[in-house]
Amino acid sequence: MGLWNEIFSSKSKKSNRKNPEDYFETEITESYVKVTHPERKDEQIDWKEIEEIQLINTDEGPFLPDVWLILTGNGKGISIPQGSEGWIKVYDIVSKYDGFNFENVIKSASCTENKTFDIWKK
């Protein structure tokens, strides 16, 4: 009976469950973007330090995040999983960068294997 209750229980009970990306928090300021997670080291990069932006697809979903927005530069980097709070805001900012590769964003969206897509380079 417990299994059936679990399967057919109300959505409100299930909505308390968290997806892996829900544990990532992104702080966005005028000067930097910072990502925190309770089980990972904090990551931070200044907007002016960003030299390269990538989307990394993995085959780890749905149990782990499977698409990551990666910002790197000056020996630093941050990784933001798609679906986490802040991902869309950061994407909206960086997608306005001159030379942003929207074609690779589309390719990433249809990819289900381990692959890296370069979407911007300084």
* Residue numbers of the domain that contains 104: 23-121
Mean local confidence (pLDDT), 25-33: 97
Q: Is residue 16 part of a domain?
A: no
Burial group, residue 41, by CB count within 10 angstroms (0-12, 13-18, 19+)? exposed
21 and 65 Cβ atoms separated by less than 8 Å: yes
Across the chain, mean pLDDT equals 88
- The reply to whether 60 falls in a domain is yes
**113 in a structural domain:** yes
Strand 76-81 and strand 67-73: the pairing is: antiparallel
pLDDT > 70: what percent of the chain?
Answer: 86
Does 1 reside within a domain?
no
The answer to the question of residue 10 being in a domain is no
56 is a domain residue: yes
63 domain residue, yes or no: yes
Is residue 73 a contact partner of residue 52, using CB atoms and an 8 Å limit? yes
With a cut of 60, say whether residue 2 has pLDDT above it.
Answer: no
Quote the number of domains for the chain. Answer: 1
First to last CA, the chain: 58
Residue 17 pLDDT:
61
Asked if residue 29 belongs to a domain, the reply is yes
Q: Is the pLDDT of residue 15 over 60?
A: no
Q: pTM value?
A: 0.83
Span 16-42, mean pLDDT? Answer: 92
Sign of the Cα pseudo-torsion (64, 68, 71, 73, in order):
positive
Cα(59)–Cα(53) distance, integer angstroms: 20
